[in-house]
Amino acid sequence: MRTIDSLGPLRSRTVIVRCDLNVPLSDGVITDDGRIRASLTTIRELRESGARLVLISHLGRPKGAPEARFSLRPVAERMSELLGAPVGFVGQTVGAEAAEAVRGLGDGDVLLLENLRFNPGETSKDESERRAFAAELAAFGDAFVSDGFGVVHRRQASVYELAQLLPSAAGRLVAAELDVLRRLTDDPARPYTVVLGGSKVSDKLGVISHLLERVDTLLIGGGMLFTFLAAQGHDVASSLLEQDQLDTVRGYLAEAERRGVRIVLPEDVVVAAAFAADAEHEVVAADAIGASRFGEAAIGLDIGPAAADRFAEVIRDSATVFWNGPMGVFEMEAFANGTRTVAQALTETTGFTVVGGGDSAAAVRALGFDDQQFGHISTGGGASLEYLEGKPLPGLEVLA
């Protein structure tokens, strides 16, 4: 994979950098700037080389047209604070105003263009439309650096086609993420434990199948655990259940047993009368959810304290741990203990720990943990999972 070093001297050259600045916003305020911080290593290096930087990114899911709530302007302001240098912003992706701003850059200057997804060409299913948009972006630069790991699994204009139109290379963040994923797949230190949570089994089908050949233990939490419990014949009452995945899950359980892989399910869960922060709740055995005092209205919202402690013990005894997906509805304090306990255990093991981006990364920061307490916090949950599934990632293949 080509790296920045392959691009040669960059002084006075305009370099387009595809970042992943898709940060969460609440009323225009950034609630987690982790992805901005992660982008700074490459940006600082390029600035020091004398390059003129044009940063591009998406934010949220606008439908190919401008939406004020998805503007990247707050990101430019926060990046300027973190970088300790001005970051210009222009409210266009392409066009006369954007072109003029790019022409005005000096060596070491940084400019952020508006949300790429305000242009329908970015995510179009029509390759010619994507290529046309990529060509407009390419006209701004002399070279392209792909550093948005969270989007390398997408065949989108700024990820794939743009890399074909300019001398291109991977940024330091993408290279670091790839090194971590290779460490998880090529020859991981053992015991190797993977902790999977989140809401749906269907989101993790490929990765579970692929990991059964590689791991020693799978710990299952989050909403997906109830499909596993139901596959074992347990009543999960009103908990999240993917009925169409029961046979698949039974197949995983049988395959794990055949391979000698432990799949550990919670022995207790926290159930509530409703999906609400102030809902009545209690801890019950995992095989007695329907027998709780809420009856068939019971909804499981977290792994129980005994399960959390058991998961933590397995994690602390592991040499490699990959975690993707919270253990419960961590945004509600009554249902955050499982996620908090798992995160704490990752900080206490001497093994190599990887937090797989997305909701997991948001959870550890929301619960007060520092990024430095973990071996690595990925900036791309979806990209990490697809790599671990063995899927090709277009944004990396184009840089080969």
Q: Could you give all domains of the chain from N- to C-terminal order, each with its CATH number? A: 4-172 (3.40.50.1260), 180-389 (3.40.50.1260)
Q: Across residues 180-200, what is the average pLDDT? A: 93
pLDDT tens for residues 252-310? 999 999 999 999 999 999 999 999 999 999 999 999 999 999 999 999 999 999 999 99
* Active-site residue set: 35, 200, 358, 382
Residue 355: per-residue pLDDT: 94
Residue 382: per-residue pLDDT: 87
pLDDT tens for residues 222-237? 999 999 999 999 999 9
Residues making up the annotated binding site for (2R)-3-phosphoglycerate are: 35, 117, 154
Q: Across residues 333-348, what is the average pLDDT? A: 97
Q: Across residues 75-82, what is the average pLDDT? A: 98
Residue 111: per-residue pLDDT: 98
- Distance (Å, rounded) from C-alpha 61 to C-alpha 76? 19
For the chain, give the percent of residues with pLDDT over 70.
100
Torsion of CA 65, 69, 74, 75, to 10 degrees: -60
pLDDT value at 63 more than 80: yes
Residues making up the annotated binding site are: 20-22, 35, 58-61, 117, 154, 204, 300, 331, 357-360
Residues making up the annotated binding site for ATP are: 204, 300, 331, 357-360
Residue 377: per-residue pLDDT: 93
Q: State the angle between helix axes of 358-366 and 381-388 in degrees (0 to 180), rounded to the nearest 10.
A: 130
pLDDT tens for residues 137-189? 999 999 999 999 999 999 999 999 999 999 999 999 999 999 999 999 998 99
Residue 349: per-residue pLDDT: 94
Residue 194: which pLDDT band, with cuts at 50, 70 and 90?
A: very high
What predicted TM-score, i.e. pTM, was given to this entire model?
A: 0.89
Residue 133: per-residue pLDDT: 98
pLDDT value at 357 more than 80: no
Residue 389: per-residue pLDDT: 86
Residue the block writes with tokens 């994979």: 1
Residue 380: which pLDDT band, with cuts at 50, 70 and 90?
A: confident
Residue 204: per-residue pLDDT: 86
Residue 11: per-residue pLDDT: 98
- Distance (Å, rounded) from C-alpha 363 to C-alpha 327? 10
Residues making up the annotated binding site for substrate are: 20-22, 35, 58-61, 117, 154
Residue 362: per-residue pLDDT: 87
Q: Across residues 42-59, what is the average pLDDT? A: 98
pLDDT averaged over every residue in the chain: 95
Residue 199: which pLDDT band, with cuts at 50, 70 and 90?
A: confident
Residue 346: per-residue pLDDT: 97
